[in-house]
Structure 1
């Protein structure tokens, strides 16, 4: 089992969330990156806090973050373990001020996620998963008094929770609904009496599946590795899977091209 202490990831996530919420409460400028995605000072401030925290706690583990993604493949291809970070996932939701954005931190070991931490600052919910321990959520995370990893687990809710609906629920992106995603939903409607679509932003879509509030999350549109690593860890430790569309194999990480192909998340 990993020696990584989940309470340290909780603190780092909460610290990043504070930086994000400080900017969220103000008027802020929005820049546009080369790929036309938005960037704010909140992304950069959260990145700085996370990198500082991870280096202080685990100096020997390298970090690949969206805001520091210029690390060449020839340097990272031999990494056995590394942190995969999206300091602010769902910047479009952040700009819209709808609260559906997250801090994502994953530990990748041997090209697969071993630990995932997702914190939603506005919702104040900390989702996490660790191989050998399970998947959990901690509500009112910023107010919790946590003394150890065991204490964290005891005060959290184990995922998935019991499903209280007979319908098949599909979670779809609030900002990226594609024609192929709609086709997947239409196919489900041919097989099931009731299919409901739940919209959500950022990596909260993974969390809804892990909780049992959704059965599927089809992502038939582009993402990057840092968008999915933490979510995959939580899904897999909850008993679900993330599979590649092209060959139905398990999603893996630290590829030369960090852009993800299509995938399906299911519990």
Structure 2
């Protein structure tokens, strides 16, 4: 396993352990300036992840770090992109659908990605250059890299001609753009089934063959998507910006993503 990927995996597991310690308590919820929720789990997980990544001497973009000005970031060839707890709202609801996201980006493109689901101890990881993506179910947050490598299963997306087409979306409040996308598929003679998950697990649904396409026509930040994009890219699935009609890029001046489409 690539050294940086190993570091990211270890960081995600340790972060997952502390997240679940908070999850099992009566935690407090704060509101950040943008009105998004913040818990003790976000802060503790971020500190742990930083303790693993800072020694690599690769700069870090994390939702919970103070953001570096673009005048400096623009000269970064490689950087980490991190969300210590993706799906804080899911964490607060205690529905288990929250993740730890860690990606390594080079020249704007994710090259390594880790998504850890601490509530169920499921780990996804990928090396884009090797075109390898894996999933492994763990018994413990303190699992060795050797066990992970030995027990990981290769991610296998669905055949692109499947019918019905499984579309990742919200069952209760899809945007008009997503509804239009579904109608377009139906207009091509496809039956459509909506599948739903919280956080970056939406990318994992497509990468592991439990969905065909993920249209995201609502705001996301780079740390929401970088790890998921790495995992998808590693198994031949592209993440296309609706703004440029090409691959979604990272370490942009504006860390807010355009709308995008995850598809074979």
TM-score with structure 2 setting the length: 0.92
Residues 100 and 204 of structure 1 are in contact (CA less than 8 Å); yes or no, is this contact kept in structure 2?
yes
CA distance in 1, matches of 2:223, 2:93: 21
SS in 1 for 2:204: helix
Structure 1 equivalent of residue 217 of structure 2: 220
Q: Distance in 2 between matches of 1:174 and 1:103?
A: 24
Alignment partners' CA distance in 1, 2:261 and 2:246: 10
Displacement of 1:152: 3.6
Shift of residue 36, structure 1, vs aligned partner = 1.6
Decide whether the 8 Å contact of 2:5 with 2:113 is kept in 1.
Answer: no
Name which of structure 1's ranges 127-136 and 221-230 shifts more when overlaid on structure 2: 127-136
| SS of alignment partner, residue 265 of structure 1 | strand
Residues 76-128 of structure 1 show CA distances to partners (whole Å, capped at 9, x for unaligned) of: 11011111000000011111111000000000011110000000001211001
Confirm whether residue 196 of structure 1 aligns to residue 202 of structure 2.
no
Match of 1:241 in 2: 238
| C-alpha separation in 2, matches of 1:155 and 1:161 | 19
Residues 247 and 76 of structure 1: is their aligned pair in 2 closer, same or farther, counting only changes over 3 Å?
A: closer
Residue 232 of structure 1 corresponds to 229
Give the aligned partner of residue 202 of structure 2. Answer: 205
Once residues 141 and 156 of structure 1 are traced to their aligned partners in structure 2, the CA distance between those partners, rounded to angstroms, is 13
Tell me the TM-score normalized by structure 1.
0.91
Which of 92, 111, 121 is the equivalent residue of 1:95? 92
Q: Structure 1 runs of 4+ off > 6 angstroms?
A: none
Root-mean-square deviation over aligned CA pairs: 2.0
Shift of 1:61: 0.7
Q: Which runs of 5+ in 2 are unaligned?
A: none
Report the equivalent of 1:135: 133
Give yes or no for contact 1:173–1:201 (8 Å, CA) kept in 2: no
- Bigger shift: residues 122-131 or 203-212: 122-131
Q: Is the 8 A contact 1:113 1:230 kept in 2?
A: yes
CA shift at 1:74, angstroms? Answer: 1.1
Structure 1: any 5+ residue segments left out of the alignment? none
Q: Is the 8 A contact 1:176 1:221 kept in 2?
A: no
**Residue of structure 2 equivalent to 1:146:** 144
